[in-house]
Amino acid sequence: MNYQTGTGEVTTPKIRVFLVEDSKVIRQRLLSLLDGLPGVEIVGDSDTAADAIREINALLPDIVVLDIKLKSGSGIEVLRTIKQGQAPMTVIMLTNYATDEYRKKCLEAGADYFLDKTNEFERLFPIMKQFRRE
């Protein structure tokens, strides 16, 4: 869907992304990398479950990139809560805890993707690109 601005310019809405990551270094790296993708708008980020749930419910992003271990609370708790909401959103779990047990829990709770930060990090960007509105 394209929109016409007041100047007659046609614009395409960006995919709105929210990032939940407890590591400040990784969060800043991801924010920088994702912000550089055409058609992507970072609408917020958080490092705790409670803040993430509150902000995601207020902002209603298209995509949430979510870690399992957070400073306070669990990414799985965030996942379950936001998937019970009315707004459809894609959730990409991106974690260092990529065990079969966590993968199963996350997929059962509604995760759309489950990626290992160490071995599958590079898959995040092609996944994001497939959701871009061009």
* Number of domains the chain is built from: 1
The range of the structural domain enclosing residue 27 comes to 12-131
- CATH classification of the domain holding 118: 3.40.50.2300
**Angle at Cα 59 formed by Cα 94 and Cα 4, nearest 5°?**
110
Whether residue 44 is contained in a domain is answered as yes
Whether residue 1 is contained in a domain is answered as no
26: amino acid identity, one letter: I
Whether residue 3 is contained in a domain is answered as no
Whether residue 2 is contained in a domain is answered as no
pTM of the entire predicted model: 0.87
Question: Please, which residues have CB within 8 angstroms of residue 2's CB and are 6 or more apart in sequence?
Answer: 10, 11, 12
| Per-residue pLDDT in tens (0 to 9) along the chain, 134 residues | 445 555 666 667 789 999 999 999 999 999 998 888 888 899 999 999 999 999 999 999 999 999 999 999 999 999 999 999 878 899 999 999 989 999 999 999 999 999 999 899 889 888 888 876 65
Whether residue 50 is contained in a domain is answered as yes
Q: In whole angstroms, how far apart are CA 124 and each of 11, 33, 60, 130?
A: 25, 10, 20, 10
Whether residue 4 is contained in a domain is answered as no
Whether residue 63 is contained in a domain is answered as yes
Whether residue 5 is contained in a domain is answered as no
